[in-house]
A and B are shown apart, each in its own frame.
Chain A
């Protein structure tokens, strides 16, 4: 069984040792690059999203040109929501987010929508569709999402009145998760 009968039609590949060597080098280079990439990704993933300590500061310019800076919002509870128009689970929570914002708008709560890797036209259509009225702007150069080390969208970070992160919610939020979190943070004393 181990010896196959000689076959006249067997393809005699030319002794292309040079080509073969290049092929081998390329193959192993690709494999090693890939493994290197995974190792690097793994190292980053092990870090996980930020969920405590002082919330990284940022300034965001919204689609209408208004700006907001996180460090200037001390004394208020801040909800930072990372989203994108191409993300189906974001659509799931959009109506609930807006509803909750309207409920807490006048109670010392600020909502910031950070639009992650998106195109303006689609993003505006999304905002229009869900009639979103809180501040929303693009994350230019993914600077904000990198500072928060987000794992995907949607992801929502909660900032207490003193500017500290008080947890992160990965995935879409549903009633009454957001309400509960906001009530909890509003109850904190400041200063």
Chain B
């Protein structure tokens, strides 16, 4: 069987040499190298469940009277897209499972990408020759966040409508061109023309997924060309890569990861409720709630919008820069500009123009680690501020006081983290301790003669104290 297949392929495509090197492709081993794989496998689940959902979703804001399986909304009149998602959730067998799994997969997808980017930066994997692949990765992060937002905006429930109102306001706030730009996207003044909904749908189910798939292909092709990076040690060097070959070990392990990621997402989708649109109800421009919260990966933008002081740049009676621009467009713009520019900033800072295949541990470059953690802290404080109202509900800390606290923290905390991280890295580098692998010191006792005797050695074993 195997022989016949190989012969068939090789005699027609000359595939044997390529198959041979693919099967023997070497993957270095480290747990953190799996983050990107989790993102890839979440994307697989997203495409699979997404195709199922596409077969039911109707991108129309025609009004319909609801007669479906959810009793509390029966007889209500609302838009067809909201009705079609309700039908999918209540009347299509396994429909709710697919929808919730899709939503969970989106959350895990973005989370895995973010952790993957953090890993890449902290270990210096973005350095020459891999800058181009890093740019592809950052682009995918931006697309993934946008794609997720589009996904829950298509439903026309209260949460999606509020999100779209904010997106419209941020689009409007772009200086000079914002008003016309928002009108082009929405086809009219908010809530938009009927053609707005097919536009959302085609972006969400075709254009962005195809872009993501293309970029994933490019990402993987570059990895195959350049090979993975690896940590030093063993036979690993700048010229030789050490690890598990694709066949059979790595294929089985990574295939196992694919199945376990998908399984976990289906368990979440089946057992843990997410975005109960029937509780939010249909959206109307005059309705809003603070009970519905957006997906986690938009928290930083909510936080940016909420923390911004009430500043609008007005010249005479002409508004030049409306307020939502700062938190909703300028802030993410700066974050992505820093991410895109990072390899070149790093290159300039350290004057390092050489190609690297060996990774650095975060401690090996305290200045890079400290700078990136400070940057992350800035984004994270603003992200946390986006959950201030939830924090108020669980702790009754006054909301206005929290906003002032977060405003101060967004300025101060990055420098504190920068300083602490730098010191910790320098200490760790000097001592070669590992924070998670326990203590490696020695216990000594002063002897009567003035010397020292060792009670416990470096390996933790009792020694006889010579």
* Bind each other: no
Query: Which A residues have a C-beta under 8 Å from some C-beta of B?
Result: none
Interface residues of B (CB under 8 A from A): none
